[in-house]
């Protein structure tokens, strides 16, 4: 495996985390931060504020009354969830062009959204509270693929050719084609942005939850299973049409039974119909 930081450097300039998101990350780390502090930061970006409120009022959250201010959103959702929505909006805005790589970026983000919706529902059923991190970690689990499509289109075309020729999943085709992979590239970029280590490790280990630390393994398992469910229900495309094998360890760790899986699939499919909200600016 190549030095991943060197590979990332060779890709050239990357989008820089905006001041609003970076400041939110700093504020969340302080126990003295208030909802008014978060509102003051987000008020500097009216477009981002409007987008967050649209997402908060979607069926995924299912609030009985409409939320009209960021302060209310912060009180109801919590600091981390609002930061995660802001981060998600930034990344989807800045990683949406594939530069003739042959990679369908719109279908890719639809898959990412579907995986995030499913992951949120899986996490709700766990005793360990993972829900607020599950959505954003699942949304960004394949960030490295969008980086490849934008910055290394020839590499992306080579991987997709192997996917088609050998009828194998994307990450297996990477192993046969490149000296790096999308999981480590995505994790390295998140690390460069100083995002929480939990997000970084889930991105790095989402295809192999057993390689994650004991603390991160439950969330990596949630994202891994959510990815498989999103693929099986045809939510967008992750770059190949195949469904990876679900390991017994991952299934057991999520605490689900098959009727529960089917219920999550039905609910997520309904919410997925609103996925255009994530693309609205």
**183-209: pLDDT as tens digits:** 999 999 999 998 889 999 999 999 999
pLDDT at 264 over 90: yes
Asked if 236 and 273 touch (Cβ cutoff 8 Å), the reply is no
Query: Which tokens sit at 228?
Result: 């498989």
Query: Which tokens sit at 153?
Result: 């289109």
Q: What pLDDT sits at residue 47?
A: 83
The CATH homologous superfamily of the domain defined by 96-281: Hypothetical protein af1432 (1.10.3210.10)
Question: What span, in angstroms and rounded, lies between the C-alpha atoms of 73 and 92?
Answer: 21
CA separation, residue 200 to residues 82, 141, 191 (Å): 18, 9, 6
Q: What pLDDT sits at residue 127?
A: 61
Query: Which tokens sit at 14?
Result: 């990357």
Cα 115 to its chain centre, rounded Å, is 8
Q: What pLDDT sits at residue 277?
A: 62
Q: In the chain, what are the domain boundaries?
A: 10-94, 96-281
Question: What is the distance in angstroms between the CA of the first residue and the CA of the last residue of the chain?
Answer: 38
Q: What is the pTM of this model?
A: 0.88
Q: What pLDDT sits at residue 71?
A: 87
99: DSSP letter: T
pLDDT at 281 over 60: no
Q: What is the pLDDT of residues 228-259, one digit of tens each?
A: 999 999 999 999 999 999 999 999 999 999 99
Asked if 199 and 133 touch (Cβ cutoff 8 Å), the reply is yes
- Average pLDDT, integer, range 35-41: 89
Query: Which tokens sit at 207?
Result: 């295809």
Q: What pLDDT sits at residue 124?
A: 86
CA separation, residue 38 to residues 58, 61, 65 (Å): 21, 20, 22
Helices (H), 70-126: 70-77, 79-94, 105-124
64: DSSP letter: S
Q: What pLDDT sits at residue 206?
A: 97
Percent of the chain with pLDDT over 90: 53
Q: What pLDDT sits at residue 241?
A: 96
Whole-number average pLDDT of the chain: 89
Q: Is the dihedral of CA 10, 15, 20, 24 positive or negative?
A: negative
Which residues of 110-265 form beta strands (DSSP E)?
none
Any idea which of 17-21, 104-108, 111-115, 233-237 has the lowest mean pLDDT? 17-21
Cα 90 to its chain centre, rounded Å, is 12
Asked if 216 and 202 touch (Cβ cutoff 8 Å), the reply is yes
Residues in the chain: 281
Q: What is the pLDDT of residues 46-98, one digit of tens each?
A: 888 888 888 888 777 788 889 999 888 888 888 888 888 888 888 888 888 77
Reduced to 3 states, what is the DSSP secondary structure of residue 92? helix
Contacts (Cβ under 8 Å, ≥6 apart) of 201: 187, 212, 213, 216, 220
Q: Using alpha carbons, select from 208, 193, 189 the residue that is nearest to residue 150.
A: 189
pLDDT-based confidence at 126, cuts 50/70/90?
A: confident
pLDDT at 141 over 60: yes
Query: Which tokens sit at 53?
Result: 């409120």
């Amino acid at each position: 495996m190549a030095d991943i930081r060197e590979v990332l450097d060779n890709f050239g300039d990357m989008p820089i985390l905006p001041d609003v998101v970076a400041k939110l990350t700093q504020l969340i780390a302080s126990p003295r931060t208030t909802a008014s502090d978060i509102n003051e930061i987000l008020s500097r970006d009216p477009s981002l504020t409007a987008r967050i409120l649209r997402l908060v009022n979607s069926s995924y959250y299912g609030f009985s009354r409409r939320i009209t201010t960021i302060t209310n959103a912060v009180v109801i959702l919590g600091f981390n969830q609002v930061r995660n929505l802001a981060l998600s909006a930034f990344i989807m805005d800045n990683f949406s062009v594939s530069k003739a790589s042959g990679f369908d970026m719109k279908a890719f983000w639809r898959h990412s959204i579907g995986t995030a919706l499913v992951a949120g529902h899986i996490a709700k059923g766990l005793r360990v509270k993972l829900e607020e991190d599950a959505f954003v970690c699942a949304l960004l689990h394949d960030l490295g693929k969008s980086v490849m499509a934008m910055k290394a289109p020839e590499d992306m075309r080579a991987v997709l050719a192997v996917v088609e020729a050998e009828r194998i999943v994307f990450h297996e085709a990477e192993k046969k084609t490149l000296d790096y992979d999308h999981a480590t590239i995505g994790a390295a970029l998140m690390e460069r942005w100083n995002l929480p280590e939990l997000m970084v490790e889930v991105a790095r280990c989402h295809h192999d939850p057993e390689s994650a630390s004991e603390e991160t393994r439950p969330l990596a398992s949630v994202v891994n299973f959510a990815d498989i469910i999103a693929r099986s229900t045809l939510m967008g495309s992750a770059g190949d049409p195949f469904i990876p094998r679900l390991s017994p360890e991952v299934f057991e760790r999520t605490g689900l039974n098959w009727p529960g899986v089917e219920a999550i699939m039905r609910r997520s499919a309904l919410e997925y119909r609103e996925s255009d909200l994530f693309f609205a600016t």
